[in-house]
Every structure is written in structure tokens, then in C-alpha cells.
Chains A and B, each alone.
Chain A
């Protein structure tokens, strides 16, 4: 005669097998070697509320939080334009004229999580422009200054 305790263990085993089976039947497809790189940066001008929208990619966000992080001013839009480019890993590199830093964001559901702040120039980047140079992002500051960036910082 089987003991009740053993029966409970056997029942739990069956339940566990069923859960595993159901879990195995759910979405489990993964696409690998995906490249997110955009061939060209987007130059976006904020509206009065700080909203920018890239008609080419559909990306929309508000720059005020970024501006507050950079300048401390988070209520009035002072950023004339932001430059955005996505690297091959899918991270967004964002900066603006006068900013000292390049902000690296990781896309999440309905948001961009700050991944890294790359300090480029203490005096501010006067004429920033991104180029896609896989695996890096090239940052120009006028015709004479060039940086190579990865999601983790300036590539030496």
C-alpha cells in the first residue's frame, strides 16, 4: 500500500511535469545576430514641450529629463536639437550641441534606460554629429575632432 506522503510527492511531480510541459508550449523563439545599427543619425528639434519625434524610425521621447541631467534645467526647453543614433547592439547614443556628454540608452518597454554617460568634453561639444562606424559610433565635433564610442565609453 502506497503511503499518503508518497502520493503527495507523486502528485506534486505530475503537477510539475504539467507546468514544464505548458511552459515548453509558450513563446520561446529567439532571433540571434540581430543588428540594430541605423545608417545615419537623426537630428531632432524639440517642440515647446521638449518632445521630439523621428519620422524615419518612429522614435519619440521627451528631452527635458535628459536636458535636466545635462544642465540641471528640466522645465524650459533649452536644447535646440538632439542627435540620436543607434549602434549595432541596439543602444541609443544621444547628445546635443553644448552638451558635455553622450548618453547611452538601452531600450526597454516604453522607455529608454540610461546605460552609460560618456563624458566627451568638459567645455561642451560644439558641433556634434554621429556616424555609424560598426562596431563603433563615430562622434564628430566640427571638422577637426573625432571620437570613437562604444556603449561603454570612448574607444582608445
Chain B
């Protein structure tokens, strides 16, 4: 006998002996113990089924129930009697079904937990996203607040600077005006060359040309660096420029005469003239752009304009068209709303904030404003929606007229018949 065969023989022998031994144990187990052990196993499995929380536990219990069936199938008849009216097979089947239900329940719960987990993750992701958004919003709000502060500070700074410039401009204007007044009546032609030279030296001493150059340069630079100003501010600057230019137009030729033949001074005067033109162009562009933006922001579509004439024409045409439209289409709530929108801008902004500067800068005169006021009033009249009450009164009046007319004709016919 080979070694392998020997091992196989003893293995079979060992297995048989173990099998016989377990069979003997089962055989000599008392019915009482069989019942007790079976019921104990039942109780344990039932309890574990109730406590099972994972699929693995449930499936393990299903295996145990199958083992229980195998283990006690030899006692099925006995257990039928013990468990009566239930039978052994019914008990095992009930357990199997209960285990299956438990497994399905846990499976559903795990699926649900998975779903819930997924939802939790989604919610967490959304919360993170929301949190990021909130942080971003906070950052933006902070930036906005900072920008507002900066803007306000900038506005304040601009206002302060503008106020200082105004003071300086007024001072210089006053000074130039006084010089102009002082020398305006002087007939240069009557002055001797020495007197003219003396006059020029006096003007030099007061640095009139330097101050004027400074005013022009500062205002020009101010327009370059302060593009965010309101239409009112730009119109104010426009008025200053117009006033300054008016004075310079009076003074400049006299100074040219005084400094005739002095190349340096003549160049300085040319520079002043050039700077004045540049300043005028800048303020003109800025003012009309800001005015146009103000109307755009309020969604009032007036035709394009780039000077005083086209501005007035644009406003006037807009009102004419509105009146014509209201006449053609009749008043309505929409028309009244459009009117109100324009009227608000006209009354609360144009007439309150802009008009003084528009007048001072000779961009509009009072007649222009009155004309536009009249058109606005006309538009209001035509924009009013027609009420049904008005139509009813009209119809009633017509009926009354017809009735009275009928009575009058009837009476006249009677009189004729009598006659």
C-alpha cells in the first residue's frame, strides 16, 4: 500500500468515525432536548433576524435556517407533533420567508442609505457650492462696498478738487476780470511804447498769462481724469469753460497787442488759445456724452446729439413725435407711463440740476425750455387714457339731442297742421 493510499484510507476512516459519532449523538438525543434545542435555535434565529442590520447577516441567517432544516429533518415527524398546529416544514418555511423579507428589507434600506448617502453628498456639494457662492458674494459685496467707498471717496475727492478749482478759477476770473476792466477802457493806440511796455510788465508781475495757462491746463487735466462725473457736473464745467472763454476772448486780443513783437509772449498766447480750444472740445464731448447717457439710463430714446442745437432739436423732436403718436393712437396707460417717465427726468433732473448750467453755458435759453415745457404739457393731455364714462356721457348727450329734435319736429308738424 502506498503512502497516498494509506492517507486516503485513514481519512475515510476518520470521516466515517466522525459521521457515526455525530449520528450517535443525534440518535441518543432525547426528544425533550431535540425540542428544546430546536426551539432555542428558533428563538435565536428569530432574534437575530430582528436584529440583523446588514445583508451579510441576513444571508448568513438564511444559511443557518437551511442548516437547521437539514439538522432537524430526521425529527420532522416528532417536531410536527410538538409544534402542532404548526408543522416543522411550516416553521422552517416561515423562517425562510422571514429571513428573505429581512434580507430584502435590509437591501432596500441599504439602497435607500446609498441614495441618502448620494443625496447627502449632493447636498454637501451644493452646500459647498453655495458656501463658495456666498463667500464670492461676500467678497463681491466687500469689493462693491470698497468700490462704493472708493467711488464716494473719489467723488468727494473730485468734489473737493472741483471746489478748489472753482475757487481758484473764480479767483483768476475775478483777477482777469479786474485786469480786463482796468485795461479795457485803455486805448492802447494812445499809449506810448513805454507805457505799453510798462503795462505789459505789470501784467507779467501779476503773472496773468501763467494763471490763465494754469486754469486751462488744470481743467483740461481734470476732464481727462474724471470721466465718471455726472451730467450736472460736466454741464457745470461746461458753463465755467464758456465763461472763461468769453473773458479770454475779450482779453486775449488786447494782450496780443501789448505783447506784440515779444516772441516768447506771443507763443504763450498761442499756447493759451490752443489749450482753450482743447479744453472746449473736451468739455463739449464729456458734457453731451454724459447727458446722452443720462437719458439712456432711463430708457428714453431720444435721437443722437453732440451740441446744444442738436440737443434741443432731439428733445423737441422726441416730444413732437410723442404728441403725434398720442393723437394718432389715442391716450392709454402705456402712453401715460411713457410721458411720466420723460416728465420725471425733465422736471426732476433737467430743470432742477441741469437748467442753470445749460443757461449759463448758453446751451439752452429760457425760450427753449418754455417751448419744451409746452410740448410736454400737450403730450400729457393727449396721453391721458379715454375713460368709458366719457363715452357714456357722449352717447347720452346724443340720445337727448335726438329725442329733443324728434319732439321739436313733432310739435312743428302739429302747428303746421293746425295752420
Contact = CB atoms under 8 A, between A and B. Distances in A.
Interface of A: 39-41, 43, 83, 129-132, 140, 142-144, 146
Interface in B31-52: 31-33, 35
Contacts of A129: 30-33
Contact of B28 (A41, A83, A140): A140
A132 B25 contact: no
Nearest to B26: A143
Nearest to A43: B32
The B contact surface, by secondary structure, is helix
Contacts, number: 34
A136 to B, nearest CB: 13
24 contacts: A39-B31, A39-B78, A40-B31, A40-B32, A40-B35, A40-B78, A40-B81, A40-B82, A41-B31, A41-B32, A43-B32, A83-B32, A129-B31, A129-B33, A130-B30, A130-B31, A130-B32, A131-B30, A140-B30, A142-B28, A143-B24, A143-B28, A143-B29, A146-B28
A132 B78 CA distance: 9
B313 to A, nearest CB: 116
Contacts of A132: 31
Contacts of A146: 28
A142 B82 CA distance: 22
A143 to B, nearest CB: 4
B-side interface size class: 10 to 19
A88 B29 CA distance: 21
Nearest to A139: B30
Given A142-B28, A143-B24, 9 more contacts: A39-B31, A39-B81, A40-B31, A40-B32, A43-B32, A129-B30, A130-B30, A131-B31, A143-B29
B103 to A, nearest CB: 33
A102 to B, nearest CB: 14
Contacts of B81: 39-40
Interface in B57-103: 78, 81-82
A43 B25 CA distance: 21
A40 B24 CA distance: 20
A83 B36 CA distance: 14
Nearest to B83: A39
Nearest to A129: B30
A130 B82 CA distance: 15
Contact of B25 (A39, A130, A131, A143): A143
A39 B82 contact: yes
B28 A144 contact: yes
A41 B29 CA distance: 13
Contacts of B24: 143
A132 B25 CA distance: 18
B400 to A, nearest CB: 111
Nearest to A141: B28
A4 to B, nearest CB: 69
Contacts of A83: 32
Nearest to B30: A129
Contacts of A39: 31, 78, 81-82
B180 to A, nearest CB: 133
A143 B35 CA distance: 16
Nearest to A145: B28
Given A143-B24, A143-B25, A41 B82 contact: no
Among A39, A43, A143, A146, chain B packs the most CB atoms within 10 A around the CB of A39
Interface in B9-39: 24-25, 28-33, 35
Nearest to B29: A143
A130 B78 CA distance: 13
List 7 tightest A-B contacts by C-beta distance, closest first.
Answer: A129-B30, A39-B81, A143-B28, A131-B31, A40-B31, A41-B32, A140-B30
A43 B36 CA distance: 11
A87 to B, nearest CB: 14
A142 B81 CA distance: 24
Interface in B324-378: none
A141 to B, nearest CB: 10
Contacts of A142: 28
A43 B30 CA distance: 12
A19 to B, nearest CB: 46
Contacts of A143: 24-25, 28-29
Nearest to B79: A39
A64 to B, nearest CB: 24
A40 B78 CA distance: 8
A41 B24 CA distance: 21
A131 B35 CA distance: 11
A131 B33 CA distance: 10
A140 B32 CA distance: 11
Nearest to A40: B31
B78 A41 contact: no
A88 to B, nearest CB: 13
B64 to A, nearest CB: 24
A41 B31 CA distance: 8
